[in-house]
Amino acid sequence: MPHGSREGGWLPDLVYTGDKFEAGLAFFADSTGRITRFSREPADLATARRLAGQAALPGLVNAHSHALGRLARGETETGRLNPALPPAAILAKLGAEDVFDTARLVFLEMMMSGVTCVGEFHALHHGAESAGAEKDFGREVVRAAHEVGIRIALLRVAILREQPPSKAALPPGVLSASAEQFTRETEALRLAIERDFPADEAWLGVAPDSLATVPPEAFKVIGNYARAQRLRLHTHVASSAEDVAAGVAEHGRTPLALLAELGLVDKRFTAVDARHLTDDEIRSLGTARAAICLTPGLPAAVTALSTAGAGVAAGTDSHAPASPLVVARTAGFEDATAAWRSATVAGARSLGATGGALEVGRPADFFTVSLSDPALAGVEPPALPAVLLATLDRRMIRDVWVGARQRIAAGRHLAQGQITGRFIGLQDRLRGRTPQPAATLDAAS
Ligand SMILES: [Zn+2]
């Protein structure tokens, strides 16, 4: 939308709204970036910005990301490492700028994949010593999202004890001494983010990592804090059969049953992974209007969860792949539109975000694909949701808009060369090599 005008509009060949593609339909947003109306009036079609040969779709919502896991790319893809965090030896070397550079690269790749909103599960809060909210590394992650232009729910991770058997000691910036310390630091960061960023662009949620690393009493303290501040609460639950068995052995009930008993399962709760749920657990998630978040790998009970009334969001976890749609693709949904809803509006609901669908009142967060792409050429509009679900790839994505503001044009982000150059320099340094001059990288990218 041009600056200074009250309203801006777009007219792609096709727009995905109400679970289907419509032709001859323009949509408009006001100066705050919210969609105000759809129109088929000739005068409106004539004034809207024409996106010829393109289809517009709601921006994807990645409900579960571990950006720092990107530092171990190559290790996670080959299955040698846990994807959530790089090795402690790398984490211990990271400063605020390094966290910023890594998150910025991850959010760039995500946005080029059509993602306009992310839930970032951030666990490294500071370096060797804590220095308060202004130096909290979570702030760097939010700043990185702001620079790229992606909306972010910063899900601040609590880890109070190491998960046995632990391979290496976690650095001090990951472990919290107590639930009280964690909530105190979280509240300071929440206020700093609220002060410095628009409320629908960056907001805070809490994420006790799992019952294995946060004991029930501490979980309850953090949950009470989240409820008092109306924050989203995300946690890894039932990630594997062993997880469930360990929970039963320690607490005499499954992890999710224990969390429900503690009063933590409500409409602001998301169970991440949630691969091993009983029928009772699925029912209780549905009754509570809670959500689960799919992660790459095994399918979950997506149809039973949706039928019960639970949200089913999707997240990339370690960024192999970078798109939640790719995660939803293999999750076992019965039809393509359900998978699309998982990667868009269900993610928005899980994160408490405003986007996720092209509808009046929601922000104009969308991406476009070229309909002349070899994968899409000649496909009829009713078949497009299924074809795009099966084939959508970063290289098919042309433009990305967030809050009616263009961030990616013809597949490129304005700051792409600088962002990738900085990250390559960081990886060189972590690997003990002499970084190449950034100017060379910029020219080559
Ligand atoms: Zn995770």
CATH of the domain at 31: 2.30.40.10
User: Both 65 and 157 in a single domain?
Assistant: yes
Rounded to the nearest angstrom, the gap between the alpha carbon of residue 285 and the centroid of all alpha carbons in its chain is 21
Specify whether 249 is located in the same domain as 198: yes
Ligand 1: centre distance to CA 368 (Å): 29
116 phi/psi in degrees, rounded to 5: -115, 0
How far is Cα 273 from Cα 84, in angstroms, rounded to an integer?
12
CA distance 317 to 69: 8
What is the pLDDT at residue 443?
Answer: 45
Q: Where a domain ends, among 300, 326, 351?
A: 351
Distance CA 202, CA 224 (A): 22
DSSP annotation of 412: E
Residue 440 lies in a domain: no
* 14 within a domain of the structure (yes/no): yes
Are 97 and 22 within one domain?
no
**Beta strands 7-17; 26-30: pairing state:** antiparallel
What is the pLDDT at residue 445? Answer: 43
Low-confidence ranges of the chain (pLDDT < 50): 1-4, 443-445
Range of the domain at 327: 60-351
Residue bearing tokens 């323009």? 26
Q: How far, in Å, from the CA of 236 to the mean position of ligand 1?
A: 6
Do residues 97 and 163 both lie within one domain? yes
pLDDT of residue 419: 98
Task: Find the 15 Cα to ligand 1 centroid distance in Å.
Answer: 33
Q: 439 CB contacts (<8 Å, ≥6 apart)?
A: none
Other beta carbons within 10 angstroms of residue 184's beta carbon come to: 12
CA 132 – ligand 1 centroid, Å: 26
Residue 84 counted as domain residue:
yes
319 and 181 part of one domain: yes
Q: Strand 291-294 vs strand 26-30: parallel, antiparallel, or unpaired? A: unpaired
Q: Is residue 429 part of a domain?
A: no
Residue 218 sits in a domain whose CATH number is 3.20.20.140
**Domain ends where: 320, 351, 382?**
351
d(Cα 278, Cα 244) in Å, to the nearest integer?
11
Please give the pLDDT value at position 9: 98
Instruction: Report the alpha-carbon distance of residue 258 to residue 20 in Å, rounded.
Output: 40
Q: With beta carbons less than 8 A apart as the criterion, state whether 155 and 121 touch.
A: yes
Question: What pLDDT sits at residue 72?
Answer: 83
User: How far apart are alpha carbons 403 and 420 in whole angstroms?
Assistant: 24
Residue finishing a domain among 326, 351, 376: 351
Residue identified by tokens 């290790």 is 75
The C-alpha atoms of residue 377 and residue 152 are separated, in whole angstroms, by 34
How far apart are alpha carbons 56 and 358 in whole angstroms? 9
Tell how far the Cα of 382 is from the centroid of ligand 1, in angstroms.
35
Same domain flag for 192 and 51: no
- CA–CA–CA angle 130, 134, 138 (5° rounding): 75
Q: Assess whether 47 and 180 both reside in one domain.
A: no
**Same structural domain for residues 202 and 71?**
yes
Residue 1 has what pLDDT? Answer: 46
Taking the C-alpha atoms of residue 275 and residue 214, their distance in angstroms, rounded to an integer, is 20
269 in the same domain as 232 = yes
Q: How far apart are CA 105 and CA 55, in angstroms?
A: 26
Residues 190-241 pLDDT 10s: 999 999 999 999 999 999 999 999 999 999 999 999 999 999 999 999 888 9
The pLDDT assigned to 135 comes to 87
Q: CA-CA distances (angstroms) from residue 193 to 134, 189, 229, 235?
A: 10, 6, 14, 22
Task: Report whether 420 contacts 438 (CB < 8 A).
Answer: no
Predicted confidence at residue 444, as pLDDT, reads 43
Ligand 1 center to residue 51 CA distance, Å? 37
Is 269 within 8 Å of 291 (Cβ atoms)?
yes
Residues 147 and 193 grouped into a single domain:
yes
* Any domain includes 87: yes
Longest CA–CA span in the chain (Å) reads 68
**Measured CA angle at 284 (ends 278, 290), to 5 deg:** 110
- Centre of ligand 1 to C-alpha 7, Å, is 40
Same domain, 74 and 53: no
Residue 430: inside a domain, yes or no?
Answer: no
Centroid of ligand 1 to alpha carbon of 303 (angstroms): 22
CA of 234 to the centre of ligand 1 (A): 10
Q: Are strands 366-370 and 311-314 parallel, antiparallel or unpaired?
A: unpaired
pLDDT at 165: 53
- Cα 298 to ligand 1 centre (Å): 14
Given a contact cutoff of 8 angstroms between Cβ atoms, the answer to whether 122 and 159 are in contact is: no
Based on the domain organization, do 271 and 370 belong to the same domain? no
Give the Cα separation of 244 and 209 in Å (integer): 15
Q: Alpha-carbon torsion 359, 361, 366, 371, what sign?
A: positive
- How many domains does the chain fold into? 2
Ligand 1 centre from 101 Cα, in Å?
Answer: 21
Q: How far apart are the first and last CA of the chain?
A: 28
DSSP state of 436: P
Burial zone of 418 (CB within 10 Å; 0-12 exposed, 13-18 middle, 19+ buried): middle
Nearest of 2, 11, 13 to residue 39 by alpha carbon:
11
Token pair for 337: 């539109």
Distance 269 CA to ligand 1 centre (A): 15
The secondary structure of 92-103, three-state, reads CCCCHHHHHHHH
Q: How many Cα neighbours within 13 Å face the side chain of 27?
A: 28
Find the 424 Cα to ligand 1 centroid distance in Å: 25
The pLDDT score that the predictor gives to residue 81 is 56
Strands 115-122 and 151-158: parallel
The C-alpha atoms of residue 342 and residue 307 are separated, in whole angstroms, by: 14
